[in-house]
A and B are shown apart, each in its own frame.
Chain A
Amino acid sequence: MSAEIPEAASAEEQKEMEDKVTSPEKAEEAKLKARYPHLGQKPGGSDFLRKRLQKGQKYFDSGDYNMAKAKMKNKQLPAAAPDKTEVTGDHIPTPQDLPQRKPSLVASKLAG
């Protein structure tokens, strides 16, 4: 009976070693966790799904914008940094920040 236990322990160790060697996926996971230690506990799951469902969200609240404009009469509104592509809640977006969406007036190049 007691002879089995050390055997089981070394079998487990061996599997772990085997995992690192034979499973490229687990090795990649270890790499990712090393780079991003705070990565979500749930693998895959809700974070991605919620991001997927929220695609296309643009935050522009005209009420906030006008209130802010009224309060800061002379000062400049905190505008987005020119390199920021995502409009988030940290600053008041201005109409200029939101990219203008117009339909393509040009014909597709496939038809050229």
Chain B
Amino acid sequence: MARRAGGGNDIQWCFSQVKGAVDDDVAEADIISTVEFNHSGELLATGDKGGRVVIFQQEQENKIQSHSRGEYNVYSTFQSHEPEFDYLKSLEIEEKINKIRWLPQKNAAQFLLSTNDKTIKLWKISERDKRPEGYNLKEEDGRYRDPTTVTTLRVPVFRPMDLMVEASPRRIFANAHTYHINSISINSDYETYLSADDLRINLWHLEITDRSFNIVDIKPANMEELTEVITAAEFHPNSCNTFVYSSSKGTIRLCDMRASALCDRHSKLFEEPEDPSNRSFFSEIISSISDVKFSHSGRYMMTRDYLSVKIWDLNMENRPVETYQVHEYLRSKLCSLYENDCIFDKFECCWNGSDSVVMTGSYNNFFRMFDRNTKRDITLEASRENNKPRTVLKPRKVCASGKRKKDEISVDSLDFNKKILHTAWHPKENIIAVATTNNLYIFQDKVN
């Protein structure tokens, strides 16, 4: 299957599917809070503010009618987390799923980690397509038979049944975080994982729930001296001893767990020097990193701050190797974006399977792709207006100022309530999942 290893612009993106309610009245619980493909791309999980997880499965490709790849249909859905109240601290604990991370598949079942602000859970999703029939002491409906009526014996057999997908919580990792969990990341050893909150990062073993090791602690002795918080963390894809964490001040620290038990001293500090004369009230806020993702190769990492996406070479700490402007036109709107709190929106970013293209979301249900090789970028929109299957998406353009050309949209007309914070790219194919507030869009490249 020779798919073109294309850039964001060589590819023609087409609408494939959209999931979720059509009406504009969005219930808070339906707000999508995370999207993640599994390692094969066959499964796509979403989490929402109501603490629910929905998993979609890709249909097996129809070899004859290969004008499109398999569709994603609902495979399983369950309530992962529920709202809680910590009476001791007078703290309300939201059930919102902050992150979902899949484990690589080891057997017939699938496993994922899902987390809210305080508790991480390991879920097992398994299929059942057979059931035992022909018990001697039980009727088919489960009622017990009177043993005195049994005159012959038979051996129960497994008979096929309609596929049932069951989700069960296998581990609950609780009570390890005082602050709000923003990230979970599974180690390449497939035995341990990290969870990060605003001030601390903990290391867990997937089998052990009553203990976790603290590996990073940036809480100052005096909270008045607090100047920065941890915003995201991730394990290196290949080196099981290496992880990074980003901060609200725009820095990324790479830590090596072999160096010491408590990795408060970084091995590398990635920070782009700032021109002090350009500093403004907004500088620190917009430099806060909302997401950090290693490339699949492990050679690079990508960070997302409010206005840009930066690619860093792990071998170079003093500046990123590539910087892409997501929506630079917002720089002249920072005052209003601060007033309506949009300046604190946390956008995520993702790599394509070959690390040649990166993607991130923006406002007005726009999302952007940057081709690292051709240096071309494209802006697309997730909208129900383009929802005929195989309709090629038209590139969008925002007009920063001055004369607005036809088909361009002016900055002042952008809808800042329509934010695309979460996107995901299939690990092998050109299939992307883009979450608007309460809808999930699936786009794929045009197959001829």
Give the B-binding residues of A (Cβ under 8 A). 15, 19, 23-29, 31-33, 35, 39, 43-46, 48-50, 52-53, 55-61, 101-104, 106-112
Contacts and interface: CB of A to CB of B under 8 A. Distances in A.
| Residue from the set A55, A57, A110 with the largest chain B CB neighbour count within 10 Å | A110
A49 B229 contact: yes
A44 B334 CA distance: 13
Contact of B74 (A19, A102, A111): A111
Contacts of B198: 49, 52-53
Interface residues of B, number: 58
Interface of B: 19-21, 29-30, 32, 46, 48, 50-52, 54, 74, 77, 79, 82-85, 89-95, 117, 179-180, 198-199, 223-224, 226-229, 248, 277-285, 288, 331-335, 338-339, 344, 438, 440
B54 A108 contact: yes
Contacts of A103: 50-51, 79, 82-83, 95
Given A25-B278, A25-B280, A103-B79, A44 B91 contact: no
Q: Which 5 A-B pairs have the closest CB atoms?
A: A44-B284, A24-B332, A101-B83, A104-B50, A103-B82
B328 to A, nearest CB: 9
Given A29-B334, A108-B54, A110-B74, 7 more contacts: A24-B334, A25-B334, A44-B285, A56-B180, A58-B92, A103-B95, A104-B50
Contacts of A60: 90
B180 A55 contact: yes
B117 A56 contact: yes
A35 to B, nearest CB: 8
B268 to A, nearest CB: 24
Contacts of A27: 332
B79 A104 contact: yes
A101 B85 contact: yes
A107 B94 contact: no
Nearest to B85: A101
A64 to B, nearest CB: 12
Contact of B281 (A33, A50, A57): A33
Contacts of A57: 89-92
Contacts of A55: 180
Nearest to A104: B50
18 contacts: A25-B331, A27-B332, A29-B280, A29-B334, A32-B281, A32-B334, A43-B285, A48-B344, A49-B248, A52-B198, A101-B83, A103-B51, A104-B51, A108-B30, A108-B54, A109-B20, A110-B19, A110-B74
B180 A28 contact: no
A23 B282 CA distance: 12
A107 B345 CA distance: 27
